[in-house]
Amino acid sequence: MTVNLKYDQKNVREYHYFLLLNLIQKHKQISRSQLASLTMISNTTVGKIVKQLIEDKLIVEVGQREGDVGRRATILEINPKGAYIIGVDIDLNTIKIAYVTLDGMVIKKQNFNFDVQQPAEFVLDKIATGITSLVSDMSVADAEKILAVGISIPGLVSWPDGKILTVPQFSWNNIPIKEYLKKELGFHVYVDNHVRAELLAESLFGSMVEYSDAVCLYIGSGVGSAIMVNNEILRGQRNTLGEIGHMTLDPNGALCDCGRLGCLQTFLCSSEIEKQTMRSIDEVSWAYEEGKDWAVKIIGRAKSYLGLAISNIICMYNPSAVLLAGPMIEQFPILVEDLGDLSNDLVWTPLRDSFQLVLPDIGKDSGVVGASALVLNEFLR
């Protein structure tokens, strides 16, 4: 996938240009000679490309430090305001739209509520209007620096054509969101599942920066995962790789909302726990805090299955870290307490102690930052 950019002249498309930009992003601070030795590209070529990146305002020089052989080396960094990304986070009842810098800082954000029963076309119109109003508040110079629009959504999305295949909670099916917004706005648009967006955001700007083989396990009103191998997101044939919420863990288990029995998410996600206990998840949480037997039991069971899910993930993908994200993890910190030991007890012996469990770093803006990380990931590839 290539991105047509405003900087799209002569050498901009060249592989080396994006390779160096990617390395500068990844290392945060790096010198020209370090870039040359990492890439085996000659010092002269690195010098030329770096000059171009500085002219394109994508990177900046930020002082000097002692080099390997005692010579002072100039340090390069991404220029956070060299370009902007519009990030759109579509969640249950709320849509957040923000413009975000190249280092993942949210400059300006607006939220609006919508009703999941509203037709998708109506909601897409509201998104287009929201983006237009956000862009019209930017200076002309800043608006010209917008790379693309990234959209994060909890559902199945086709890739790269960005069609929403299904969002069970919204009853949206086959919505060509990318095509529609591209036509309405004239920007490039990238759309993907919110768990992938979360993993990319933490990998680019948060707690997962150092891991190139990583999995994000997300537990909210459903369960999903995203998988990164050697810095590449895995998508599978239908861009649904990682939909582990509907893996059968107990063929005689509880009925899942997908119509099957004993899916992983029947043990873990808030909507299934609410269904089984006939109480809201907040009530379950209070009852757990008060030590009520039934609540301690159901959360204890969730934790056992979380340990199992992690040990299965480790066997399947051999990641060096698993990011644990989503509202259930935030609401029930007990789920992650000693979870490393539990998962290690359950995992196949040769893989014991081969992985870290990591919590997210980005916080409340993770949805819009994740949406913009989708764009940046494609741009840097």
The verdict on 256 binding Zn ion (CB under 5 A) reads yes
Q: Which of 156, 263, 310, 374 binds Zn ion (CB under 5 A)?
A: 263
| Residue 17 near residue 42 (C-beta atoms within 8 A) | no
Range 5-64, binding Zn ion (CB under 5 A): none
- Interacting span for Zn ion (CB under 5 A) from 94-102, 105-113, 242-250, 360-368: 242-250
Nearer to Zn ion, 24 or 302 (CB): 302
Q: State both tokens at 102.
A: 């190249």
The verdict on 254 binding Zn ion (CB under 5 A) reads no
Q: How many other CB atoms are found less than 10 A from the CB of residue 300?
A: 12
Nearby residues of 68 by Cβ (< 8 Å), 6 or more positions away:
33
Q: Residue 261 CB, nearest distance to Zn ion (Å)?
A: 8
The verdict on 258 binding Zn ion (CB under 5 A) reads yes
The verdict on 109 binding Zn ion (CB under 5 A) reads no
Nearer to Zn ion, 34 or 225 (CB): 225
The verdict on 244 binding Zn ion (CB under 5 A) reads no
Burial tier of 208 (Cβ tally within 10 Å: 0-12, 13-18, 19+): buried
- Interacting span for Zn ion (CB under 5 A) from 83-91, 123-131, 246-254, 313-321: 246-254
Q: Which of 26, 246, 275, 279 binds Zn ion (CB under 5 A)?
A: 246
Q: Residue 246 CB, nearest distance to Zn ion (Å)?
A: 4
Nearer to Zn ion, 74 or 166 (CB): 166
Nearer to Zn ion, 88 or 256 (CB): 256
Site residues, Zn ion (CB under 5 A): 246, 256, 258, 260, 263
